[in-house]
Amino acid sequence: MKTVLITGCSSGIGRALCEKYLTKGFHVYASARNIRSLNDLDEHSNLTKLTLDVNSQSSIHNAIAHIKQDNNYLDVLINNAGYAAMGPLADMPLEDLRAQFETNVFAPMELTKACLPFLMAKKELAKKETTKNAQQHNAQVVNIGSVSGITTTPFSGAYCATKAALHSLSDAQRMELAPFGIDVITVQPGAIESKFGDNSLNNVLARITPQSLYAPLKEAIQARATASQDNPTPAAEFADTLVEQLLNNPKAVIRIGNGSFGLPLLKRWLPVAILDKILSKKFNLTSLAKR
């Protein structure tokens, strides 16, 4: 039986991916920092719920040990856990910026390293099988990035930077792990339905004090924090599309969801000055210059 470990399964993309992989006959290791957040995930004979804080070495060790008890290999690792530290960079404490990189960048790299023996074991298992397309037997590391890692917007600089870093590291991983029978796929979603916006909003409200240079733009900052929930693609639809692609010789970079094609095109074709002007106007930064 094929196996998949998914992080950040309490809601949104992670939850939808769990449900989709179960329909494909995978044994799914669904993980979350608080395992109680998985209580409403329907029980299934092929489902194992794990406590996994991606920022904790001991938590990673315990989760890997649990998987090892069941299997000596892993077909797919999906690095999905993450969050968005929104708000003006001038108002963001350094510890918040570091924490953003810890979860969104360093944690997936560390978890991938911990899973390498199980992912590499998949290649050895594949040698015992025959197929017209050996690549279908490769293990997969799937890093969930974002179109925000391509097109940076005001009031989301920290989040955008982590996703850009993850994209770059994924490019290196893809080349470095290929000799060991591991395919690395970078997913760059657009707006996907989740609780992501609510969580981002709660964080940003605490940062915008009356003394902030950006206090007059509080509504615009709040709008950026919840922008991913403005006409989002349903998480189940995203998961259906992604898993089908992952099971059928996927591209190295996959973009799915509302805005996943348009935003990168803006970055590619528009001059920097024009794109800056458009985004500054959208988030009301131009009003500050008039004060």
Of 127, 142, 13, the C-alpha closest to 75 is 142
Tokens of 83: 């969050």
Of 29, 73, 159, 214, which is the active-site residue?
159
| Residue 159 annotated among the catalytic residues of the structure | yes
Q: How far apart are CA 9 and CA 47, in angstroms?
A: 12
Taking the C-alpha atoms of residue 255 and residue 169, their distance in angstroms, rounded to an integer, is 17
Among all residues, which ones are annotated catalytic?
159
